[in-house]
Amino acid sequence: MLKLAVIFLVAGLLLGALGFGGIGGAFVGIAKILFFIALALFLIFLVLGLVAGKTVKDAVD
């Protein structure tokens, strides 16, 4: 998902530099949304991994 966000960001910056500001701004907006979704998913999976790791460690010991 971060790869897609970077692609949209680069495309948006390129379009903005070429004079297509409206479409470029939309692409940058999409990149922001994708970045924050990826960040939220990372944090959710990080917390779930830590909780599951403790549960497995307690079950093994």
* Residue 4 reports pLDDT greater than 90: yes
Residue 21's SS3 state is: helix
pLDDT at 18: 94
| Residue 45: per-residue pLDDT | 95
What digits encode the pLDDT tens for the residues 25-40?
A: 999 999 999 999 999 9
CA distance 58 to 6: 40
Q: Which of 43, 39, 34 is nearest to 4 (CA)?
A: 34
Contact present, 10 and 28 (Cβ < 8 Å): no
Model pTM above 0.85: no
By CB atoms closer than 10 A (0-12, 13-18, 19+), residue 13 is middle
What would the mean pLDDT of 36-55 be, rounded to a whole number?
A: 91
Domain ranges of the chain: 2-60
pLDDT of residue 55: 73
